[in-house]
Structure 1
Amino acid sequence: MVYFFLILALVASFELGSPLTLETAVQKSLKWPEEYYFKGEEVDYLAGIITPFEMWYSGNSSRSRIDYNDGTVKNYYVVEDDGDIAREFKVHPQTTEEETNVIVCTELFDNKTLYDILPEELNYEYIGPKFYNGKFVDVWEYAEKDEIAKEKTEKTLYVYQEDGGISIPVYEEIKVYNLWIGAVSQHSVKRFYDYSKPVLEYLDLDESCNDTEAVGSVMVESFSSDILSDIDGAFRSYVSRHNKKYRGDEHEIRKQILQDNLRRVIDHNQKNLGYKLTINKFSDRTDSELANIMGALPSLDHVGSVPFPHTEEEVENLAEKLPKSFDMRLRGYISSVKNQAECGSCWSFATIAAVEGALARKNVGQRNLDLSEQSLVDCSWGFNTYGCDGGMIDGTFEYILEHGIPSEMEYGLYLNKEGWCSIENMTELHKIKDFAAVPPLSVNAMKLALYEYGPVTVTINANDAVFSYDSGIFYDQTCNNEPLNHAVTVVGYGVRDGVDYWIVKNSWGEDYGEDGYILISARNNTCHILENAFYPVV
């Protein structure tokens, strides 16, 4: 069959007047350009995110740049003094109460390498030619099956050859299957267009970076112990399954991080402490990289626009009448789990989830309401929020109280990046009347707020164990030794084997924890969950 397609390709090339060299599968290889420019788009089918991009890369000058969403956000990477670590600058629009869509530049300190969008170099198998978008391309495939994790990874590349044997990608598809249930757990596609050599002037920093604000980040797999003796094999499997791509010495750094996390997961799960940890998409990341998606800041003042309506004595009396368990998911109040992706916008997702739930609780006709997290990322900078670099919960509720929230359908899809604020163009905004703070360190006050008013947005400490959570009732007092850094939404409470817990909706996708949720123990203010809690009043 391969030879048949090769003959067809040869005939077609003669008809088109273009030369074609017949090569065997043995002779073919993948060799990426060291200098390139591409346009393209990336589609994450499970997260529902479409991201157009433009990419300039120059290995010779140790610089790269990628623009997202037609240049709305620009990221520049510069390696200086023959080092391996790149300085990263992000240029994006910012909207406050005084200014709308002003361009600003910030420098991010996350120990990044020079960014390169080309596919990871793996042992791809040459499949044969294919006619795609008006030209013949070479099809390459890679597949790996992990019997321990019960996952299968499939990767497909379409490339064509330039002079000198340089491979130019036009299409990359990645699928990961969960073999336990036969479902796809990851599915993404990149399409590449308009390859050319980069114009080096476009790699020069944007003028807005002349006055740069330097900022840091503000914010199910099973393994047995014998895997630690084959960390190289485990690392290769992890890299393939999660579509990781490293350069140079970064491989050893990432492998060491993964090994440390493997050891921690195995040691924990052998203790049977009531909850399980796992290795997942976060398990090779540095602390600074994890901080990028832990974007919540503790509120400066734990007060709402209205006070909590019950005294401490009233709380205790009313709590005696509450049901033992209360789960708003079962009542149809809670929207589906979403995915904030790489943007540190947890504060936006956690507050939106609470508003959606409160409105659905009040009005049955709003049970399918899908409000826009992106509008908060774009427009609420004047309320102690900072786009993809974090935000405060009380400030976010203040913005919603002042301006309201549009639906995602009207405002537009979540971008995983900062965008242009277009709130003034919306025809319908969903309002809240007020918001209130739950009295701190009170289990009964939290239960009462959930039962009487709806979902509660909280800020917790998301430590390594939270990132690795798989199932069960999470209880880890070490997370109380670190500051608040991640916003989530409490949507109910329950009891299992005599242990009270909170039902917590996260924004890391449905593949995290228990279908996107984490059950956090109600004992001892686990991970600070009772310290910075707010709910909307509708």
Structure 2
Amino acid sequence: MWRLLAGFVLLLCAADATPVGGRTVPCFGKMYHVKGELSLPFSGDSGIKEPFEVWYDLEGNRSRIDYHNGTVRTFLIGKDSDYGVIYQITPVTTETEIQAVKCFQLKGTKEDPIRPQSALPDLQGFEFEKMEDCAGVQCEVWKKVTQAGHKKNTYRLWVKRPEGSDSPAVPYHFEMEGFNTLLESHKDKYMIDYSDFSSQTESDIFTPPGAMTCHEFPDPPEEHQILANPLQDYVSTSPVSHAHRLFGPFKEKFQRKYESEKEHEERESYFLHTFRHVHSTNRAGLTYSLGINHFADRSEAEMARMTGGLIIPDQIKDDTK
């Protein structure tokens, strides 16, 4: 549903948008190209930085997202098939193949059709907070707070307002900081830095390679949405993401029973960071791949104790297949 709302807000801001706190909601236009870098500071000591590039065409009902400088290319084509298709060209490493380039696809449904994926959050519900310097540029800061259960998330988007009222706004920085009210701690955070924003793009950039045969994404099926469209979770302002919803299948698979609600929240937080680390690492096209196994809900200190202090990629591969 949120993807539909994102398109609606972009159409609205092209007309006379309703002022919020004396300012109109920033408009980024119906077509743009932008580069970004996703930072996951809580994933290991050094964190993860993942570059991506997005081409967005709302009226054409299509978008393209490349990760790690084109190592993984994702095409979201809303006009293909009955309800749209996501195509992903990605290197795959298994026990028998190393970096074999393959094509996977995910078809939309009547209940969940494929729509172009924005690189920017849906600004519905955001309010102007303040003016602030951002990389030497005076930016408007727009803020939204959401809460579900013990998860309270604060989203902020730093935007430069162009001098001409008809020109699209320019995004600079997006940040999510999650606070767990039960644990009384900030257990979640990620950031996106934007650059090279342009309101133009080439039409042929949205055409997937025609010579490749595309297959369904590999099991487990509940991860297909994350695999096909990973950026969706990071620009959505829902406090409960696709990754959060996968904690249930993980608990069932490994027969997890926690002693208290507090431990459940702790374990879910560890699982979320592990899940993001695994999928972001796999998008880098390395000579090995990671998977979710029984260590996924453990802290790094616990994993070090269980493995004698040595953590290597093989130890967090999915050893249940």
TM-score by length of 1: 0.39
2:87 to 89, 97, 103: 89
Opposite residue 348 of structure 1, the aligned amino acid is G
Q: Which residue of 2 aligns with 1:116?
A: 118
Contact 1:137/1:158 (8 A) holds in 2: yes
Aligned pairs for 1:8-19 within 5 A: none
Inter-CA distance 95–78: structure 2 relative to 1 (3 Å threshold)? same
In structure 1, what is the Cα distance between the partners aligned to 2:303 and 2:35? Answer: 42
2:22 to 26, 32, 37: 26
Gaps of 5+ in 2: 1-18, 221-232, 254-269, 283-288
Q: Which residue of 1 aligns with 2:293?
A: 350
Identity of aligned residues (%): 20
In structure 2, what is the Cα distance between the partners aligned to 1:110 and 1:245? Answer: 22
Larger radius of gyration between Structure 1 and Structure 2: 1
Contact 1:348/1:373 (8 A) holds in 2: no
In structure 2, what is the Cα distance between the partners aligned to 1:358 and 1:171? Answer: 33
Opposite residue 56 of structure 1, the aligned amino acid is W
In structure 1, what is the Cα distance between the partners aligned to 2:244 and 2:275? Answer: 19
Aligned pairs for 1:183-222 within 5 A: 183-196=185-198, 197-206=200-209, 209-219=210-220
In structure 2, what is the Cα distance between the partners aligned to 1:179 and 1:58? Answer: 39
**Shift of the alpha carbon at 1:374?**
10
Contact 2:304/2:311 (8 A) holds in 1: no
Aligned pairs for 1:259-274 within 5 A: none
Contact 2:23/2:128 (8 A) holds in 1: no
- Cα deviations across residues 443-473 of structure 1 (Å, max 9, x unaligned)? xxxxxxxxxxxxxxx57xxxxxxxxxxxxxx
1:370 to 305, 311, 314: 311
Are 2:111 and 1:176 equivalent residues in the alignment?
no
Contact 1:156/1:173 (8 A) holds in 2: yes
- Cα deviations across residues 80-122 of structure 1 (Å, max 9, x unaligned)? 1696x33111111234677643322222346543222211223
Opposite residue 191 of structure 1, the aligned amino acid is D
Are 2:258 and 1:340 equivalent residues in the alignment?
no
Are 2:40 and 1:44 equivalent residues in the alignment?
yes
Opposite residue 130 of structure 2, the aligned amino acid is G
Contact 2:62/2:115 (8 A) holds in 1: no
Contact 1:352/1:371 (8 A) holds in 2: no
**Shift of the alpha carbon at 1:143?**
2.9
In structure 2, what is the Cα distance between the partners aligned to 1:98 and 1:76? Answer: 27
- Cα deviations across residues 297-350 of structure 1 (Å, max 9, x unaligned)? 9xxxxxxxxxxxxxxxxxxxxxxxxxxxxxxxxxxxxxx866123849897342
Are 2:103 and 1:101 equivalent residues in the alignment?
no
In structure 2, what is the Cα distance between the partners aligned to 1:57 and 1:374? Answer: 38
Opposite residue 213 of structure 1, the aligned amino acid is C
Inter-CA distance 44–214: structure 2 relative to 1 (3 Å threshold)? same
Contact 1:32/1:167 (8 A) holds in 2: yes
Aligned pairs for 1:66-465 within 5 A: 66-80=65-79, 85-95=83-93, 100-109=98-107, 111=109, 112-144=114-146, 149-162=149-162, 163=164, 164-196=166-198, 197-206=200-209, 209-219=210-220, 244=236, 280-282=240-242, 339-341=274-276, 343=279, 348-350=291-293, 367-372=308-313, 393=319, 458=320
SS class of match (1:70): coil
Contact 2:84/2:107 (8 A) holds in 1: no
**Shift of the alpha carbon at 1:25?**
4.6
In structure 1, what is the Cα distance between the partners aligned to 2:91 and 2:134? Answer: 37
SS class of match (2:104): strand
Inter-CA distance 27–82: structure 2 relative to 1 (3 Å threshold)? farther
**Shift of the alpha carbon at 1:178?**
1.4
SS class of match (2:143): strand
**Shift of the alpha carbon at 1:54?**
0.5
In structure 1, what is the Cα distance between the partners aligned to 2:173 and 2:203? Answer: 25
- Cα deviations across residues 229-270 of structure 1 (Å, max 9, x unaligned)? xxxxxxxxxxxx997369xxxxxxxxxxxxxxxxxxxxxxxx
**Shift of the alpha carbon at 1:55?**
0.6
Over aligned residues, Cα RMSD in angstroms? Answer: 4.2
Contact 1:41/1:52 (8 A) holds in 2: yes
SS class of match (1:202): helix
Inter-CA distance 188–96: structure 2 relative to 1 (3 Å threshold)? closer
- Cα deviations across residues 136-171 of structure 1 (Å, max 9, x unaligned)? 21122223566xx34432211111124415222111
Opposite residue 371 of structure 1, the aligned amino acid is I
Larger RCO (CA under 8 A, 6+ residues apart): 2
SS class of match (1:211): coil
The count of corresponding residues between Structure 1 and Structure 2 is 249
In structure 1, what is the Cα distance between the partners aligned to 2:71 and 2:316? Answer: 14
Contact 1:56/1:66 (8 A) holds in 2: yes
- Cα deviations across residues 384-408 of structure 1 (Å, max 9, x unaligned)? xxxxxxx7x4xxxxxxxxxxxxxxx
Contact 1:37/1:56 (8 A) holds in 2: yes
Gaps of 5+ in 1: 1-22, 220-240, 247-278, 298-335, 377-390, 394-457, 460-538
